[in-house]
Structure 1
Amino acid sequence: MKSIKKSLVSIAVGALTTAATFGVSAEELNRSNISEKFQSLTPFEVVAVENSPADSLYQVVTTQGVFYMTKDGEHIVSGALHEAAPGLPNLTQDRIAQLGADKINDLKDSFVTFEAENQKHEIVVFYDTTCPYCHRMHKELDELLESGVTVHYAGWPREGLVDRRNPGTDAMPNPSASYSELMGIFCDENPREMLDANADGARVKPGACPNKIDEHYALGEFLGVRGTPAVFSVDGQQVSPGYSPASAILQRLQGDQ
């Protein structure tokens, strides 16, 4: 009997030592289960399961935004979580902005950038070649640059990335016409000149090259872009959901200081 008890104690100690060694906790296992269940119920890819500002909820970060799930995994909440304080701060939007800022920083070198000499602000503009309001906004670029606003253009094909009428295969999808035209800008030796010409009414010859326009598009979807030219600050905060005159953009940027 003593031998059996001794063996059981050895097994228990070994199990605890293994758990401690690998750092596995009940909470981590539960988060893994939450992630699996969420992905089984929605079409969204889970990036992370975090503690949320509300103790009873997990914060589920996906490629399409932030959701919440009760810790027992029985309920999903889609929508904004507000702090019960004056002004009702939008905690969901704050988290999206934080994550968006990281993504913007990672992608900065892939944008078409017009840099202000005396930079005071930076904005990201989601641009499509066939968007007349994108062209209109670009005509006001000089006013933004002279006011110290550096403008980063991200490609955001309004038709999506894949040709809906002739999508091709998963291994070799056919790009949409607007994606092909955006590649004509981003793949050009002088992308700023090509964007200038497009804003002046020139059609862009479709291009093809390794690029990060698909990541620009994913960034826009994560931030909640619904049309072009959506404007965001580099810290992930929305400046304008669509076209706004340069004077209005400047006023909003200065108001955030």
Structure 2
Amino acid sequence: MTRFAVAAMLGALSLSACAQAPQAPGAAQAPAAAKPAPATAAKAGSADERARQAIGRLNPQISVDYVGAAPMPGFREVIAGGQLIYVSDDGRYLMQGTVLDLQDQKDLTQSSPALSTYRKDLLKTIPVGDRIVFAPPNPKYTISVFTDIECGYCRKLHSEIAELHKLGIAVEYMAFPRMGLGSKDHKDMISVWCASDRKRALTDAKNGKPVPTRDCKNPVNMEFDVGQRIGVSGTPAIYAEDGTQLGGYLPPQALRAALDKLAAPAGSAAGGK
């Protein structure tokens, strides 16, 4: 892979770092996200600093949010643009993609505590009052979902809200207009978030009903920005409370099983409700 190709790959990691869309007038601004702190500050010449310098040489515009020890020897774990990558301790090699621990039979890229913490802290910057919440009484689990009003699987997930509630799962929606800021989709989502009854407005929009035009001070741009920074590349994007990404659409029973597995003590089987 050429240096140019690697730089282009890294550039694609962080839309917020390289190509943020303009903010609409009156839109809420994204608060600063808490970042997981390394156990020790990176010092000049350290493996952490060499990893940062290596990313900077490829693309100075990339924001490196975290550098720490990787689960395999000889590499540093790096979070950039919401994505997890590995850089060798000498700053020479970069790996991105699935990394399997064959002994423990797990995907290291999906089980990184640092990445989960990074996502959890970013999600916390979106107040519950800025989300559209569908919750049963006394839910066992709560999921955060970046959603779009037009995507088919977003609509399918929403059509199964009643089943999710029966399984003890609350859904907290955040706006992610996948067509981008300034699109009709974006304007319609602002209208939904500005409705006096946002739950009804979102349900109507997901059922294909026309969206009455509304405008107000709203969190749509801020939530879209957080979604970009967390690494959302499609909708729906579902996250557990600990920051683990559960994937895109999952059927209700599969979603409950995934949440049970996360909640189960290490080495034990998850129990049903």
TM-score normalised to structure 1 length: 0.72
Question: Are residues 1:39 and 2:56 paired?
Answer: yes
Higher RCO structure (Cα 8 Å, ≥6 apart): 2
Give me the whole-angstrom Cα distance separating, in 2, the residues matched to 1:30 and 1:45: 18
Question: What is the aligned residue count?
Answer: 221
1:88 aligns with one of 106, 123, 136: 106
Question: Are residues 1:48 and 2:54 paired?
Answer: no
Query: Does the 8 A contact of 2:86 with 2:96 survive in 1?
Result: yes
1:151 aligns with one of 150, 171, 190: 171
Cα deviation code 1:168-220 (max 9, x no counterpart): xxxxxxx2222221111223332212112212321224554444434433444
Give me the whole-angstrom Cα distance separating, in 1, the residues matched to 2:91 and 2:215: 44
Percent identity over paired residues: 23
Question: Are residues 1:111 and 2:131 paired?
Answer: yes
Q: CA deviation at 1:128?
A: 0.8
Give me the whole-angstrom Cα distance separating, in 1, the residues matched to 2:72 and 2:261: 30
Q: Which runs of 4+ in 1 moved over 6 A?
A: none
Q: CA 1:36 to 1:25, structure 2 compared with 1: closer, same or farther past 3 Å?
A: closer
Question: Are residues 1:198 and 2:205 paired?
Answer: yes
Give me the whole-angstrom Cα distance separating, in 2, the residues matched to 1:105 and 1:26: 29
Question: Are residues 1:138 and 2:155 paired?
Answer: no
Q: CA deviation at 1:89?
A: 4.2
SS of alignment partner, residue 125 of structure 2: helix
- More deviation in 206-215 or 231-240? 206-215
Q: CA deviation at 1:122?
A: 0.8
Give me the whole-angstrom Cα distance separating, in 1, the residues matched to 2:238 and 2:47: 38
Counterpart of 2:32?
none
Q: Give the gaps of 5 or more residues in structure 1.
A: 1-22, 162-174
Q: CA 1:127 to 1:89, structure 2 compared with 1: closer, same or farther past 3 Å?
A: closer
TM-score normalised to structure 2 length: 0.68
Query: Does the 8 A contact of 2:180 with 2:186 survive in 1?
Result: yes
SS of alignment partner, residue 136 of structure 1: helix
Question: Are residues 1:98 and 2:126 paired?
Answer: no
Q: CA 1:87 to 1:149, structure 2 compared with 1: closer, same or farther past 3 Å?
A: same
SS of alignment partner, residue 72 of structure 1: coil
| 1:155-234 aligned within 5 A | 155-161=175-181, 175-221=182-228, 224-234=231-241
SS of alignment partner, residue 203 of structure 2: helix
Give me the whole-angstrom Cα distance separating, in 2, the residues matched to 1:232 and 1:111: 14
Structure 1 counterpart of 2:92, which letter? Answer: E
Give me the whole-angstrom Cα distance separating, in 1, the residues matched to 2:53 and 2:215: 37
1:245 aligns with one of 247, 251, 273: 251
Give me the whole-angstrom Cα distance separating, in 2, the residues matched to 1:24 and 1:141: 45
Counterpart of 2:143?
123
User: Which structure has the larger Rg over C-alpha atoms?
Assistant: 1
Q: CA 1:255 to 1:47, structure 2 compared with 1: closer, same or farther past 3 Å?
A: closer
Q: CA deviation at 1:100?
A: 1.3
